[in-house]
Amino acid sequence: MSTPDVPSVLFVCVHNAGRSQMAAAFLTHLAGDRVEVRSAGSAPADAVNPAVVEAMGETGIDISAEVPKVLTTEAVQTSDVVITMGCGDACPYFPGKRYLDWQLDDPAGRGVEAVRPIRDDIEQRVRGLLTELGVAARA
């Protein structure tokens, strides 16, 4: 459960193998321990998309050890902000939570060249989220 001083953010996409993994990695990298970060998928894949791992590696963020996780009701209940990325109605709704839906292309089946613009869009959205949360991004 988050504390008043540390907001909790959950990123959700279908496979938890691309968009939500990138968003969680950027938020963890930029906020450190000042934000509790989770990611999950409504139908998790077996592994993180290799093109996503490569694209994130280009920014200096290694997500090669990450594993897609299944979305649980508890993860939603214990998060202050839930950001969905194409998971449709699979994400449970709880009153009092802040929900955002980020419309982003799905990197599934795409090469690193196609993943880079998605990655860069996610980084900018995460930086904006940090500003909204009142958390300064690390350099």
Question: Which residue among 12, 27, 91, 130 is the active-site one?
Answer: 91
91 flagged as catalytic: yes
Range list of β-strands (E), 8-97: 8-13, 36-41, 81-84
Q: Both tokens of residue 104?
A: 């982003």
Question: d(Cα 112, Cα 96) in Å, to the nearest integer?
Answer: 38
Question: Which residue among 9, 12, 82, 87 is the active-site one?
Answer: 87
The helix (run of H) or strand (run of E) holding residue 98 is strand 98-101
75 flagged as catalytic: no
Question: Which residue among 13, 52, 85, 118 is the active-site one?
Answer: 13
Positions marked active-site: 13, 87, 91
